[in-house]
Structure 1
Amino acid sequence: MIIAYIAGVNIIAFLIMGMDKQKAKTETYRIPERTLWGLAILGGAIGVWAGMKSFRHKTRHRSFVIGMPVLIIIQAVFVVSLF
Structure 2
Amino acid sequence: MLLEYYLLIVNILGIFLIMIDKLKAKYKRWRIKENTLLIVTLIGGSIGVYLSMYIFHHKTRKPKFRYGVPAIIILQLLISFLIFK
TM-score norm. by structure 2 comes to: 0.92
Partners of 2:69 and 2:21 in 1: CA distance: 17
Letter in 1 for 2:38: W
Structure 2 match to 1:27: 28
Which amino acid is 2:57 matched to? R
Which whole-Å CA distance do the structure 2 matches of 1:72 and 1:56 have between them? 19
Q: How does 1:1-83 map to 2 (within 5 A)?
A: 1-83=2-84
Distance 1:67 1:57 in 2: 14
TM-score, reference length from structure 1? 0.94
Q: What amino acid sits opposite 1:63 in the alignment?
A: K
Deviation (angstroms), 1:47 = 1.1
**Residue 79 of structure 1, CA deviation:** 2.1
The more displaced of 72-81 and 13-22 is: 72-81
Q: 1: distance between equivalents of 2:36 and 2:74?
A: 20
Q: CA RMSD in A?
A: 0.9
Give the gaps of 5 or more residues in structure 1. Answer: none
Paired positions, count? 83
Runs of 4+ in 1 over 4 A off after TM superposition: none
